Amino acid sequence: MEKYKQEFIEFMIDCEVLKFGDFVTKSGRKTPFFVNTGFYRTGAQLRKLGEYYARAIEEKFGLDFDVLFGPAYKGIPLSVAATIAISEHYGKDIRYSSNRKEIKDHGDKGILLGSPMRDGDRIVIIEDVTTAGTSIQETLPIIRAQGDVKPIGLVVSVDRMERGQGTKSALQEIHETYGLETTAIVTMAEVVEHLYNRPYKGRIVIDDALKAAIDAYYAQYGAENPA
């Protein structure tokens, strides 16, 4: 596993973004682990997060695209942080765009924040985590309503590697249904590989009991051939 992936896993632990316990996902599944990017709360944290996203984006998609779109609300700071990091580390000035939940009726009217979209724009979508793939169903119509644009990819922070609507992973289903390339900074398999029975800052994050709970979760909800 690449060093930056190991660092990102530890970064999530430090920021209390990656937690283990008893949780319920947006799709209603009871899960022993949860990823909440809302816990990135400082400028330094967002700066580092943007750098991890930028690396994952550059490795998967290169920089031959025009707009990084972050769906409201969590996607707004993600798109801003990642476009700043792309500019600083790769010298490419990508535009950022996000949607409003409510359309303004005064001033800067419309549904978009940041850059408008132009005909011919190639769009990469940035999200925190995709569990069942439901959010992309809401996001793509917003993007396609902006003109003759082409959504080409989706990047998330963690691939949960579980079933979407069928037996395949949510990211696989998104790829097959919408033709989007997908990638993640890390997968849950990489998280488990890095943390299982390894001390981090004086404690074992994933012990045998938690590993058994994660295995049981994947026995119920794990995707077929998630790689």
Establish whether 106 is a catalytic residue.
yes
Phi, psi (5° rounding) for residue 207?
A: -95, -175
Separation of alpha carbons 42 and 49, rounded Å: 11
Q: How far is CA 56 from the centre of its chain?
A: 10
DSSP secondary structure, 118-153, as one string: -TT-EEEEE-SEESSSHHHHHHHHHHHTTSS-EEEE
Separation of alpha carbons 163 and 170, rounded Å: 6
Pull the structure tokens for residue 35: 């990823």
One of 3, 106, 109, 201 is an active-site residue; which one? 106
Establish whether 168 is a catalytic residue.
no
One of 26, 30, 89, 104 is an active-site residue; which one? 104
Tell me how far apart the terminal alpha carbons of the chain are, to the nearest angstrom. 14
Catalytic residues: 104, 106
